[in-house]
Amino acid sequence: MSWKILINDGMEESGVNALKSLGFEVDTQKIPQEDLPHKLQEYHGIIVRSATKVRKELIDVCPGLKFIARGGVGMDNIDVSYARDKGIAVINTPAASSRSVAELAMAHLLSTTRGLQDANRQFSGGDQFSALKKKWSSCSEIQNKTLLLLGFGRIGSELAKMATAMGMHVIVNDPFVEKANLKIKLGFQEVDIELPMVSREEGLTKADYVSLHAPFTGSALLGKNEFAIMKKGCFVINTSRGENIDEDALLHALDAGIVSAAGLDVFQNEPHIKEALIQHPKICTSAHIGASTMEAQERIAGELVEKINELFKSKSL
């Protein structure tokens, strides 16, 4: 007997077809969260992204569930330990989207530095051209600026490579990492670089840029107290989890001139995002698209298919 799998938050067609070719029964019709406790009981596995939540209450009413798969890195929408204690495999794809998310973080970093988010809103040519050109002539370059990475996993290290190549000084805070080592290609050679490790407090006082790359662990990484000690005029980038930033504290810091600008791909209470964040002239926004590249989606689908098939074969032995 094969498994019946629900793909509830979408998946690349190549992955869907690959699962079907391996004999799995696949359903791609999204089931609303409130209907899952009843309908998920028909399935052996569920594939989600960030929208669908697989919590203890849902797990308890689905005794036939063999696996929960997350297409992406973070799994804070899944009660991972509880599921595994119940004998349910929990799968994710930690490496597949790292480059794509890091590139988006760099895009936000550059956009906020040059004021592109506000310039794009205002620019219409004509009489405004000269005034806007003058307005944004006070922007600076990122070379020789200090970037603090809060989190040094796969995404953080990818961004560190880009930032280092562009002449930035990168410092790292990650309580789970002893050394922040990078391998960078220079021509035909690979060079090992060890980045300075700092406390969060020290890093916030030194950094011209702060980029978040850590899972949400129950409290915001940047709140009122953290903004209060930041280097004045710094830039904040978040492509991790919306809950990692106290959004009201960020808005206050922007209006007070503590933070020059922010680039946000993630928000609290998605998709119900505060209008003040979307409309703020110093905030560059995107719709949680860090992993939304063709290359990343193909890698995610391929990695999930491989892991699910390996799991099925191990359970069938």
Residues annotated as catalytic (active site), given as ranges: 241, 270, 288
118 closest CA partner among 146, 139, 145: 139
Q: State the Cα–Cα distance between residues 27 and 233, nearest whole angstrom.
A: 49
Q: Which secondary structure element, helix H or strand E, spans residue 149, and what is its range?
A: strand 146-150
Q: State the Cα–Cα distance between residues 70 and 62, nearest whole angstrom.
A: 17
200 closest CA partner among 239, 219, 226: 226
Q: State the Cα–Cα distance between residues 204 and 228, nearest whole angstrom.
A: 9
Residue 4 CB neighbour total at 10 angstroms: 15
Helix (H, G, I), strand (E, B) or coil at 46: strand
1 Cβ neighbours under 8 A, 6+ residues apart = none
